[in-house]
Amino acid sequence: MTTIQYQESFSHGYIPSEIVDDRSFDLAHFAEACGQSPEWVMQLIEYGILPDRSKTQHSIFLGEDISRAQRAYRLQRDFDASFTAVAMMLDLIDEVQELRREVKHLQLK
């Protein structure tokens, strides 16, 4: 069983949570940590939802990829979304979060 550290940051009423783990995972352990099948994880890579960090024939995953995979699963489950739609939704969510960070940064100046 894989043990993952969990961290929450509190800032101005916003409570982002993230998986903090500096270890890398092979496909089987990553899929287990996500509660999904290796085939599902490979689909995430194929559709660009997770980065392809494979240097050989084996895929390497980081702890930070777990939270992205879990978000992808929730979007797929909640909206009955295809992998293509999930990839687009995650890109838009990431862009909105980045824009919000920039606005907050500008407001603090």
Is 90 exceeded by the pLDDT of residue 91? yes
Which domain CATH number covers 47? Answer: 1.10.1660.10
Domain extent for 43? 5-108
Q: At what angle do helices 38-46 and 27-34 cross, to 10 degrees?
A: 100
* Tens-place pLDDT, residues 14-48: 444 444 456 789 999 999 999 999 999 999 999 99
Is 70 exceeded by the pLDDT of residue 56? no
Higher pLDDT, 68 or 58: 68
Is 50 exceeded by the pLDDT of residue 4? no
Which ranges constitute the DSSP H helices of 2-109? 27-34, 38-46, 63-79, 83-108
Lowest mean pLDDT among 4-8, 27-31, 56-60, 77-81: 4-8
For the chain, what is the domain count?
Answer: 1
